[in-house]
Amino acid sequence: MNPAGKPGKTGSLMPVEVALARLLEMADASRIVDRERLPLAQVTGRVLADDLVSTLDLPPWPNSAMDGYALRKADWAGEPLVVSQKIFAGQAPDALKPGTCARIFTGAPVPAGADCVEMQENTEVLADERVRFTETLTIGQNIRPQGQETTVGELILPAGTRFGPIEQGLAASLGCAELDVIRKVRVAVLSTGDELIEPGQTLGPGQIYNSNRVLLCSWLRRLGCEVIDAGILPDDLVATRTRLGELKDVDLILSTGGVSVGEADFLGIALREEGELSLWKLAIKPGKPLTFGHFRGVPVIGLPGNPASTLVTFALLARPYLLRRQGVKQVEPLKVQVPAGFDWPVAGNRREYLRGRLENGRAIIYRNQSSGVLRSAAWADGLVEVLEGRTLVAGDSVYFIPLSEVIS
Ligand code: AMP
Ligand code: MG
């Protein structure tokens, strides 16, 4: 399997990693630091504001990893031992009486004086209820020591950690009932285009349904953002200016469409007039035109309007930007190297993100990779990255970015 390779030349186009680095730099410069305190159950998808340091040893005391018998190894000389107490999880045991053993269950504290636990399968309970141990014993066996997971003062989750079920579980194990998280990023979503109408309305000539609006709004909510749905913006300068001016109390204006070459670029004009604008031509496919700027101080990202382009540029550029605004360090999705299950004979000058799936361990791609075809992404489980300047034959190695890595 050939390695996934190095990117080739992109000509005058901006390489994806350069665009990402610039966006992250700007996100760092406008970090959101305001916080709110939330019950643990409500922090899913949110970002921890302060380091979470353990105030406990976990487990707080040595406990049994098995159902069996706790004893002191030195007390076992071949003669069966009397069971002097029974310890269930949740109970506080007495010290072990010398020369005896204790019946113990998983998770129960190991009594002082015991130094090993034998699982019940390796014991024989005699008619007089004494216990014979049938295997060799080792000190410490089947005992989960105090502080095995964490000790008081240890850093458990650094500030900037995004909560998922696992992090929530870990915080719960330390007794956290409430946590300080970064306040939600407020994102206004704008769909631009005279051709757009909303589902539920009747299509007229030349019209299409707005798919980007719901796609981005629901994605952003899953990301933990507060969404201000700013609806459809007609291709008109006055309307653009007015609508942008209404979006005051937001952290980002995220628009789609109206950034292709040749189109009357009203968003761009409005940003130039009352803020600043960078128009980037990215070495990315689908995608390419991307706008970054400010309108009266509010950051604006303009994604290309074709649905598959919106998806790819949001996943790889806008999503990391939004996470970094909240202080998340690791913002790029995990990629795995897999063999390609297809040929790619013509090298492009843009990095392609093909909508694909894994089948028998190989990446295969949807038959139609047009940027207008959102169905390709619904069919897909991930994005297959083909670097600029590269051709492939089946069996060559490619990177695969699972969609599950980015759709959350
Ligand atoms: P634009 O970037 O405005 O030139 O749009 C590029 C293509 O994407 C055009 O075919 C648009 O009709 C389409 N498009 C733009 N915005 C949306 C949207 N919100 N939903 C569906 N298609 C869109
Ligand atoms: Mg348009």
| Cβ of 370 less than 6 Å from ligand 1 | no
- What is the residue-wise DSSP string for 279-336? EEEBSEES--EEEEEEETTEEEEEE-SSHHHHHHHIIIIIHHHHHHHTT-S--SPP-E
Q: Does pLDDT of 323 surpass 80?
A: yes
Pairing of strands 186-192, 252-256: parallel
Give the three-class secondary structure for 74.
Answer: helix
The CA 321 to ligand 1 mean position distance, Å, reads 22
Mean pLDDT to the nearest integer, 8-14: 86
Rg over CA atoms, the chain: 30
**Superfamily of segment(s) 38-53+158-182:** Molybdopterin biosynthesis moea protein, domain 2 (3.90.105.10)
Encode pLDDT of 66-77 as tens digits: 999 999 999 999
pLDDT at 261: 59
What is the CB neighbour count within 10 angstroms for residue 241? 17
pTM (2 d.p.) = 0.93
pLDDT digits (tens, 9 = 90+) for 349-381: 999 999 999 999 999 999 999 999 999 999 999
The closest residue, in CA terms, to atom 15 on ligand 1 is: 305
The closest-lying atom of ligand 1 relative to the alpha carbon of residue 212 is: 19
Contact 80, 64 (CB under 8 A): no
Q: What is the CA(306)–ligand 1 centre distance, in A?
A: 5
Task: Please name the fold of domain 16-36+184-325.
Answer: Molybdenum Cofactor Biosythetic Enzyme; Chain A (3.40.980)
User: At 63, which amino acid appears?
Assistant: N
For the domain made up of 63-144, give the CATH fold.
Answer: Molybdopterin biosynthesis moeA protein; domain 3 (2.170.190)
- Which ligand ends up closest to the CA of 303? 1
> Where do you find CATH 3.40.980.10 in the chain?
16-36+184-325
Kindly report the CATH number that applies to the domain delimited by 336-407.
2.40.340.10
pLDDT tens, residue by residue, 113-160: 999 999 999 999 999 999 999 999 999 999 999 999 999 999 999 999
Q: What's residue 3's pLDDT?
A: 65
pLDDT reported for residue 265: 79
With CA atoms as reference, report the closest residue to 396 among 358, 342, 316. Answer: 342
